[in-house]
Structure 1
């Protein structure tokens, strides 16, 4: 690569056998090679980094690019691919999309300055996976109201509208029941939860209205039971749909305490 570059930083992790080869085998953001930067003293603490063109990743360029959906999707896909490659070998602390430092030296300085905070959080996340649970209200999937005969058109219309409103209210009540069941499942299997904003419009694929969008931190040995029980939370509840995604690296749980946040 010619021209000035910046250090795009994907994640912080504990070094493990095979990690160098794993990150070297994936294509990073902007098609750039990924390498590891080690902390100065705690050599087991590493960051996954790519040298990317500053013309696309400096502050002004990022502000522009983050409004470009195709560009953002490409970066997010590559970012995720690197983190998943690391997660197959060791505990990983994903960093925010488009975390950029001046150079590898600055990345190393951040590792050194925040060493204890990074190591503590990595220890806390060891053996834990993230699962996403989304709950949708889909009144259209519930049994339709019964047809009404021998009524005038006006009265039939009003009766039908009332039945639709009742059906919608019943679906939201069913969603509340499903949410309570998911909470009970989490108490059995999860160690932490993060509530995200519900997804609307293009961010909410499929039918229905998203009313819950949560992430759960689950021990690996509980993963299968958590997924099964979360999906069963909709059993017998018409008008409710549950989507479970994962397992993922712990994206939603990687944030350090505010006083420990690393600055680019």
Structure 2
């Protein structure tokens, strides 16, 4: 297979959100992810990657650096990434991958993730049957000082 130009407007890349074990593909139905295509699963032997096909041109170094400097755009991508990872974590042990983890195509994703399979298995064994809990504490707003000195 010949290499495609990653900056060509019609070239797709594979965005990887997480690696799981025992994931139900239906968990991602209707999730927008970070692109226009459906979020889907990619079998990796006994593991499964949660992925989405995205426009490679949307993730060039120049475009991504611009996105990193735009707080609203960065927040949008971070929330979309987190939503997909959270959907996976609800149904099975999940190892989240960093924001904007991309491969040129599904086969490259399989190869790259397979190289880390033992690490993924180790983490998944460690977190199986555990839950992560978070607590948020909100302080009341300070009352307005209406007294005149």
Question: Within 5 Å, which residues of 2 pair with 1:11-160?
Answer: 11-16=18-23, 19-39=24-44, 43-132=45-134
Which residue does the alignment assign to 1:6? 13
Deviation at 1:66, TM superposition (A): 1.0
Structure with higher Rg: it is 1
CA-to-aligned-CA distance 1:50-93 (integer Å, 9 cap, x gap): 11111211222111111111211111121111111111210110
Q: Is the 8 A contact 2:13 2:105 kept in 1?
A: yes
**Partner-residue secondary structure (3-state), 1:30:** coil
2:21 and 2:73 map into 1 onto residues whose CA distance is: 30
Compared CA separation, residues 113 and 90, structure 1 to 2 (3 A): same
Provide the C-alpha distance between the structure 2 equivalents of 1:81 and 1:45, rounded to a whole number of angstroms.
20
Report the TM-score when normalising by structure 2: 0.78
**Kept after mapping to 2: 8 A contact 1:11/1:83:** yes
Counterpart of 2:51 in 1: which secondary structure?
Answer: strand
Distance in 1 (CA, whole Å) between partners of 2:80 and 2:15 is: 12
Name structure 2 gaps, 5 residues minimum.
1-8, 144-149
Number of residue pairs matched?
134
| Contact 1:14 1:91 (C-alpha < 8 Å) held by counterparts | yes
- More RCO (CA 8 Å, sep 6+): 2
Instruction: Report the CA distance between 1:118 and its aligned residue.
Output: 0.6
Distance 1:114 1:54, change over 3 A: same
Residue 34 of structure 1, CA deviation: 0.8
Q: Report the alpha carbon displacement of residue 125 of structure 1 after superposing the two structures with TM.
A: 0.8
Stretches of structure 1 lacking an aligned partner (at least 5 in a row): 142-264
Q: Distance in 2 between matches of 1:135 and 1:87?
A: 23
Calculate the aligned-residue CA RMSD, in Å.
Answer: 2.3
